[in-house]
Structures are given as structure tokens and as C-alpha cells.
Amino acid sequence: MLNRVILIGRLTRDPELRYTPSGVAVTQFTLAVDRPFTAQGGEREADFIPIVTWRQLAETCANYLRKGRLTAVEGRIQVRNYENNEGKRVYVTEVIADNVRFLESNRDNNGGAAPREESPFGGGSGGGNRGNSSGYSRNNQDPFSDEGKPIDISDDDLPF
Amino acid sequence: MLNRVILIGRLTRDPELRYTPSGVAVTQFTLAVDRPFTAQGGEREADFIPIVTWRQLAETCANYLRKGRLTAVEGRIQVRNYENNEGKRVYVTEVIADNVRFLESNRDNNGGAAPREESPFGGGSGGGNRGNSSGYSRNNQDPFSDEGKPIDISDDDLPF
Amino acid sequence: MLNRVILIGRLTRDPELRYTPSGVAVTQFTLAVDRPFTAQGGEREADFIPIVTWRQLAETCANYLRKGRLTAVEGRIQVRNYENNEGKRVYVTEVIADNVRFLESNRDNNGGAAPREESPFGGGSGGGNRGNSSGYSRNNQDPFSDEGKPIDISDDDLPF
Amino acid sequence: MLNRVILIGRLTRDPELRYTPSGVAVTQFTLAVDRPFTAQGGEREADFIPIVTWRQLAETCANYLRKGRLTAVEGRIQVRNYENNEGKRVYVTEVIADNVRFLESNRDNNGGAAPREESPFGGGSGGGNRGNSSGYSRNNQDPFSDEGKPIDISDDDLPF
DNA sequence: TTTT
DNA sequence: TTTT
């Protein structure tokens, strides 16, 4: 009835952009969020929280977010489930984001992977392929071709 | 770095109160939270989100929450993992609540299980056993005795 | 850059529906939200927080919310300012709601004012005047005619 | 009954640390939070939201926050009121913060005022006066001496 | 000016 | 499988 999540953390890897069979953009990444207390032993732990974004927001995230970047995410908790290879039901909890804030510009943080775009509001190579950073065109790609795991993304998951 | 969740939904069952080996109260329940849109086909779906409360809040939840009650929960997302019987790593996502609001009084809603306590601020049988609804005293109980699944609760999970 | 508020409280009065000069619905009400602690002396205090809703949500709120009802509100803090009669700048802080949840149905709570509509999803008198509870038609009304204070609502305040 | 605010924005000035008559630290600052849409004319507007922190958090904020810094704030909305010089009741809305995150380290942003401390976890001059940046000792100060406006802070405002 |  |  009400379901609201706000997180600030850092990406553990570059985001992954894919497309559903019907061509809708989806980007997934994981946010490492430090816990507000230290574990016994004094080490600070983190929660690794899977984030999913759809459509235009997915393309923006794929273009501008990179591993290590401090990022704020607003969204809702969603619990999916599917049957795995052994016929067992597996539950997957993700945050479906509807608002993502880039708290570090590209200038601030240049460790990790090289940015695919020069600047958050900079040029890009123009044209219709913007946002599809896989190098495949939107029509003949197979976004899941390199995936060993069961395909767990479909148009049925579309939140709106 | 920041991790905040606010949910409003209904309990799918009565809450379960247990104690860690060192005697700390933990209560778990699941909140059914309706999604803000309807699936294709027009049915309204819900997310079933596991909630964990600790210490005094755990005892209050065990005493006053019941299946079906409309409830607000504030907390943070936590992702635990453990190795299962087949040596596979399993990830469990829960909301660790630090604030729970009972949006329906006992009077409002008397379906489901009978309340164990008469009123939210009513008597109880007094004495040291308050909040331990398992019928075991706090010292000789085995809160996990009736559990087939691997014990996935320990003092290591203590959030503060 | 990020601005999110979630409140649960009770309406101090029936909501007030008005229309901007260009015919956009706006509803205002105040939420009494109990503080999480007691003041010295032991009395529990509350914050009285002004809420504003626009368009369709404004009409729904005007139709179904009433004085005393337990209500959840999601939105953002907005700070307006205007010059008063004495030429002094006055600051007004409100929560612009984009999501409102009715936590008590009409059946639960029938003290206070009589409901203008029978049931949350019930009939109403039908037709185009739905949601305009002032009795004026949408075109020839003056929503501010009965107001002594400076007109502090205009199309400029439109949030989207 | 539930009152939660999360903001990300930038300080409009250096924070102001004061002490109540009984010696409790209070820090006030204003956060400029960009609105999620542009006004007609295309300019992006912001809300200027007053933040209050107490005790240890007040001292930390006074030490490490500076004008212009990107900052996340978690807290609750509080509405105070007092009678002004002309006998008129004035309402003041503030966010009482219980969690503040510094999203830019001292290195990132050195515009505006010079930092009073070298680094977030750096030295300081040590000793009991830490956090009292007014230059007054905690006992003989008058935290309101340089204030023309009515004293609007007192131990009565203490949130816990 | 305030709600239960 | 994890980020600074």
C-alpha cells in the first residue's frame, strides 16, 4: 500500500543495460551501502542491494553511472520469484528505482572503468543509438546471449 | 551510507518471536504490500516483504501484531547470506525495522488469530515472562527446536 | 536534488478543495502527526503539517478524506514566500503530496463531519461535477471569494 | 505517528552552532534542494529548507559541513510557533535531523568559506572545547548575544 | 485555529 | 561475485 526506499551507496560494477524481447530498456546494478554500525571485530560491513531501472532512466544510468560512483536511489522493494533448474522456487528481492541521483560527476572519480561518455551532459556520438552502449542495434541484438543463468527478465516485469 | 525503507501493508501471519542463544528477542513477520499498479490481466499483485525486529520492539510486535493487521514499518534493507545444505550460497533480503506503527487497534480487526493480549496497553499476566509468548521461559527454551531449516539467526546478526 | 517526505497522521479538519484561475484542482488540509516522544510534563505533542494536493489527487482527497481520518502522505517539502500586507516577506512551508493513502475506510470512522460521498468507491451523484464539492460549476466559480487572506495560490505554483 | 524526511542538497551558508542555556549544542543550517522540474521560463528553482541538529550531531555538523557542500539529511518535520514583537503568532517549520551524511569530503570542494578543520577525521586542537567554534567557552558564552531576532531556541525544544 |  |  506504501513502499518507499531511499539508498545512498556506491556501484560495485558498471551497470548492465539490456532490452526485453519487446525492446524495453532495463539496467541492473548493485549498490554497496555501508551499515550504520561496525560488526564485532570493528570492521564496517555493507549491504549489497540489487537495483533495477527501466526505460529512459535505464538508458541514463547505463550512460553515466560507473563502478565506484556515489549514487542516490529512490524506489520500491519488489520481490520476484521463479523456478530454478532443480524445480525449486527462488525469491529475488530488488529495488525498482524511479529516481536516481548521480552524486559524483565524471570529473570527480576516474578510477575503475573508463567512461563511455565524456561528460554527464556532453555530446555522445549522436543519433538513434544513444543509450544502447552494447554496440548492437536495438533490433538485431541478443541481450541475453552471454548469460548462463535462466532468463529472469521479461516484459511481464514491467512496472508501469 | 544511507538506507531507509518505509512500508505500509498487512501481516500475512501472526509474528514469530524467538530468542538468540544469548537471550535477545527477535520477531519475524511478512508484510504484504500491494503494488501501485495492476498486472496485465487486471489483478492487483503484492510484494511479500520479510520484516525483522529486535529486542523491546520485537516483544511489542509479538504481543500486539496479528495476521491481517494494517501496519507501517520503518527500517533498513539488510542482505544476509549463508551456505545451504548443498553448499550453495543463498541470499536473504529483509527489512530490519526500527519503528513499527500499529494502524489498526485490536478492536478494529478481529479476523485471523485470537489476540494473545487483551489490549495494546492492557494487562498481560505481569512478571518477567512478558513478551515471551512461546511458553518457554527465557532460560530453558530452544527457540529453534521446531525448525527444519538451517538456523539462520544468531547473535552475529544483532544490528546494534 | 532529492526531497522526500512520508507522514502518517490525522486530518485536523475536512479538506478544502479550490481551483486555480485556469481551473486546476487544489486541495489543502492539515495533518496532525504525533511526536515520537513526550514533552516535559508528560503530554504528547503533535506537529500540524500543511498538505497540498493537485489535480486528480486533489479531487480524490476532497471526496474521501474527512476530519480525524488516519492518513498516509508521500510528497516533497516546498517553501513558498510572498509579501504580506505590511510589505514583509512571509515563508510558507507545505508538503506537496503525490501519493495519499486512506488508512481508515468511511465505515471505520463516522465521528466528525458527515461524509459527502457514501463510500470510497461508491456512486456519488454522477456527472461532470464530481469532485467539485463547492457547489459552483468549474467555470463560473470564484474559489477565493470567501478568503480574507491574500490569494496565495496560483497557476505558478503548479508542480508539474 | 510517522514523520520521515530525506533530503539531498547544498548548504547555503556555513552552519551556526549555539548552545541552549543548559549547555546543549544546536546547529542550524539551510539546505538548498533543487526542485525536480523547471518553472515556466525554464529556470530551475530550489527549496530552501531549514535544518536543526542537536547534541553530538550538532557539533559534528558544525565541524565538518561548510557552505556549498552536498549533504544528505534524514529527520522529521517540526512546526514550532512563537509570538512575535507585534503579538502575532509565527509558525516556523524545520527539519530536525537525526542523520546527516557528508557527500563531499573537504578535498572535493573548497569554494566558499575556509574549513575550520583540516580533514573530517583530522586533528583539531584537541581538548574539551572541540565543536564549540564560537570561540566562547561552554560556560560563559552567550550564544544569542549577536542575534537581533527574538530568542527562538530553548531547552524546551529538545527533541529527546 | 488543530487530530485520536 | 562486490563499493570507498
Give the helix, strand, coil percentages of chain C, each rounded to 5.
10, 40, 50
- Are C2 and A2 within 8 A, CB to CB? no
Per-residue pLDDT at D114:
42
Per-residue pLDDT at A22:
96
B138-158: average pLDDT = 42
At residue D154 the predicted structure's pLDDT band, cuts being 50, 70 and 90, is low
Per-residue pLDDT at A13:
98
**In this predicted structure, which of D44-58, D63-77, D101-115 has the lowest mean pLDDT?**
D101-115
Q: Which residue has the higher pLDDT, C85 or D118?
A: C85
Of A37, A59, A61, A60, whose CA–CA distance to A47 is shortest?
A: A37
Instruction: Quote the CA–CA distance of C46 and B105 in Å, as a whole number.
Output: 20
Selected for mutation to probe chain C from B101, B105, B106, B121 (highest C CB count within 10 Å) is B101
Per-residue pLDDT at A112:
42
Q: Which residue has the higher pLDDT, B152 or A126?
A: B152
Per-residue pLDDT at C156:
54
At residue D120 the predicted structure's pLDDT band, cuts being 50, 70 and 90, is very low
CA dist C48 to B41, C7, C29, D78, D127, Å? 42, 11, 10, 8, 42
Per-residue pLDDT at A85:
87
Q: Which chain C residues touch A1 with a CB distance below 8 Å?
A: 72, 101
Please check whether strand E approaches the CB of D89 to within 7 Å: yes
Q: Which chain C residues touch A2 with a CB distance below 8 Å?
A: 6, 72, 74, 99, 101
Q: Which residue has the higher pLDDT, A107 or C59?
A: C59
Of C146, C150, C28, C144, whose CA–CA distance to C88 is shortest?
A: C150
pLDDT at residue C160 tops 60:
no
pLDDT at residue B84 tops 60:
yes
Per-residue pLDDT at B107:
61
CA dist A95 to A86, A92, D111, Å? 26, 10, 36
pLDDT at residue B87 tops 50:
yes
Sketch the domain layout of chain C as residue ranges.
5-126
Query: How many C-beta neighbours within 10 Å does residue A27 have?
Result: 25
- Are C101 and B8 within 8 A, CB to CB? yes
The per-residue pLDDT for range A28-85, each reduced to its tens digit, is: 999 999 999 998 888 989 999 999 999 999 999 999 999 999 999 999 999 999 998 8
Of D10, B76, B47, D69, whose CA–CA distance to A7 is shortest?
A: B76
| Residue B23, all three cell numbers | 537471550
Per-residue pLDDT at B155:
60
Q: Are B58 and B25 in contact (CB under 8 A)?
A: yes
Q: Indicate the class that CATH gives domain B5-126.
A: mainly beta
Per-residue pLDDT at D147:
36
**Nearest CB to A2: which of C2, C4, C101?**
C101
> CB of A104 within 8 Å of any CB in chain C?
no
| Residue C132, all three cell numbers | 467539485
Instruction: Quote the CA–CA distance of C143 and C112 in Å, as a whole number.
Output: 24
C60-64: average pLDDT = 97
CA atoms within 13 A on the CB side of A149: 6
The per-residue pLDDT for range B5-43, each reduced to its tens digit, is: 999 999 999 999 999 999 999 999 999 999 999 998 999
The per-residue pLDDT for range D70-100, each reduced to its tens digit, is: 999 999 999 999 998 888 889 999 999 999 9
| Residue D106, all three cell numbers | 573537504
The per-residue pLDDT for range A13-25, each reduced to its tens digit, is: 999 999 999 999 9
| Residue D129, all three cell numbers | 572545547
> CB of C72 within 8 Å of any CB in chain A?
yes
Per-residue pLDDT at D105:
76
Q: Which residue has the cell 476532497?
A: C62
C50-55: average pLDDT = 98
The per-residue pLDDT for range A118-157, each reduced to its tens digit, is: 333 322 222 233 333 333 333 333 333 333 343 445 555 5
DSSP helix/strand/coil, D29: strand
Which residues make up the interface with nucleic strand F when CB must lie under 7 A? A 9-13, 30, 32, 34, 44-46, 48, 67-68, 111-112; B 79, 81, 89, 91
